[in-house]
Amino acid sequence: MATSTFRVNVLLKEGVLDVQGKAIESSLPELGVSSISNVRVGKLIEFSFDHEGSSLTDEEQTKLTKVCHELFSNPVIESYTLTEVK
């Protein structure tokens, strides 16, 4: 049994209005910053995952995909990337 740490980056899909990003952009001039644009705000989720061997089985991979789809993100408006944290 091994435990790995994974990170999921969740961002709104292109074309979906990013209200938090716009709010940050509108605050930047107050800090005297004009060189930042295209601000997008998403979620970052880190977790430990117990698995059998050194690499993931198909079943374990399916379980991770299911959790990313059904719990961590809303696939209608969000996209995610799952990466192992070394």
The residue ranges that bind its own copies (CB under 8 A) are 5, 9-11, 21, 24, 27-28, 31, 33, 35-51, 60, 63, 66-67, 70-72
Which residue, 47 or 55, has its beta carbon nearer to its own copies?
47
Report in angstroms how near the CB of residue 76 gets to its own copies at its nearest. 18
Q: Which two tokens stand for residue 42?
A: 């998403």
Query: What's the DSSP call for residue 23?
Result: H
Report in angstroms how near the CB of residue 66 gets to its own copies at its nearest. 7
Q: Which two tokens stand for residue 60?
A: 């374990």
Enumerate long-range contacts of 15-20, CB under 8 Å, 24 or more apart: 16/77, 16/78
